Amino acid sequence: MGKHKKKKMNQEILVVEDETAIRSMINFSLSRAGFQVKEAKNVEQAKEQINNKSPDLVLIDWMLPDESGLELAKSIKQDEVTKGIGIIMLTAKAEERDKIAGFESGADDYVTKPFSQHELVARIKAVLRRTSYGEEEQLVSGPIVIDLKSYRILINDEEVHFGPTEFKLLKFFIMNEGRVYSRSQLLDRVWGRSVFVEERTVDVHIRRLRSILEKYDLNDAIKTVRGAGYRFDL
Ligand code: CA
């Protein structure tokens, strides 16, 4: 048997912690659990990382050298583009009122130091299940089924080939059905902020996506919202 490389969607976790030893330990156990791990040692670095590419979840230490981890959590949850990112606050504070402040900042969960690596991984998986489609195998909208395990798209049970960008676009639209996205938001979320692409590139790929969908009488699925952007609705 030849070597088999499994395609897997590794979910990305950003660990924001100023203590190197704890950061490395968390990185080690999360990597072992199959996550892609990025690190930041303060709020500034964390914001840079998030702007560059949205992770699926951010683990935030409460006490950070430049700003409070709570402020970082708030800013993530207040930004339209990043508010879907899961947040777990990490802290030595175990008092009830701190916990409340943590949740008010928009954190999805709260882990008190010292914690076991096993517990941390379990909590992360639970938050990811609530905040993303990461654990799901299929995304379904009307006659469209996206199989996330095999990266295949079926329409009316027939496999349809999409280019990589059209694939990502359609997946994004189905995950966010009914919401309007501007071209620049689509660039951020589908292409990633680190990539420089002109806004009209979005239109090109929308056109390609529409022309594929048209063959299945789904040409109306992607709506142009005047002055706002695009919305997927089936
Ligand atoms: Ca700290």
Q: How far apart are CA 44 and CA 50, in angstroms?
A: 10
In a domain, 1, yes or no: no
Provide the domain limits for residue 32.
12-134
CATH assignment of the domain containing 97: 3.40.50.2300
Asked if residue 211 has pLDDT above 50, the reply is yes
Residue 96 pLDDT: 66
In a domain, 59, yes or no: yes
* Mean pLDDT of the 151-173 span: 92
Tokens found for residue 58: 């951010």
pTM across the whole model: 0.56
Residue 7 pLDDT: 36
Asked if residue 4 has pLDDT above 60, the reply is no
18 lies in the same domain as 68: yes
SS3 at position 26: helix
95 lies in the same domain as 159: no
CA of 85 to the centre of ligand 1 (A): 21
Confidence of residue 5 (pLDDT cuts 50, 70, 90): very low
19 lies in the same domain as 123: yes
Confidence of residue 3 (pLDDT cuts 50, 70, 90): very low
Q: How far apart are CA 29 and CA 219, in angstroms?
A: 46
pLDDT in tens, 141-152: 889 999 877 889
CA of 87 to the centre of ligand 1 (A): 16
Asked if residue 68 has pLDDT above 80, the reply is yes
Find where tokens 């990025």 sit: 38
20 lies in the same domain as 129: yes
CA of 90 to the centre of ligand 1 (A): 9
CA of 22 to the centre of ligand 1 (A): 9
181 lies in the same domain as 193: yes
Residue 93 pLDDT: 67
CA of 91 to the centre of ligand 1 (A): 8
Contact yes or no for 43/16 (Cβ under 8 A): yes
In a domain, 226, yes or no: yes
- Mean pLDDT score across all residues of the chain: 86
The residue among 134, 164, 187 that closes a domain is 134
157 lies in the same domain as 194: yes
The residue among 89, 112, 134 that closes a domain is 134
Confidence of residue 30 (pLDDT cuts 50, 70, 90): very high
CA within 13 Å, CB half, 202: 21
* Mean pLDDT of the 63-73 span: 94
The residue among 95, 115, 134 that closes a domain is 134
CA of 18 to the centre of ligand 1 (A): 5
Confidence of residue 81 (pLDDT cuts 50, 70, 90): confident
Q: How far apart are CA 190 and CA 167, in angstroms?
A: 10
**What is the percentage of the chain residues whose pLDDT exceeds 70?**
91
Residue 222 pLDDT: 95
Residue 191 pLDDT: 86
126 lies in the same domain as 178: no
Asked if residue 6 has pLDDT above 70, the reply is no
pLDDT in tens, 121-133: 988 988 887 776 4
Residue 26 pLDDT: 97
159 lies in the same domain as 214: yes
Q: Which amino acid appears at position 115 of this protein?
A: F
The number of distinct structural domains making up the chain is 2
CA of 194 to the centre of ligand 1 (A): 28
100 lies in the same domain as 36: yes
Q: How far apart are CA 57 and CA 63, in angstroms?
A: 18
* Mean pLDDT of the 44-65 span: 93
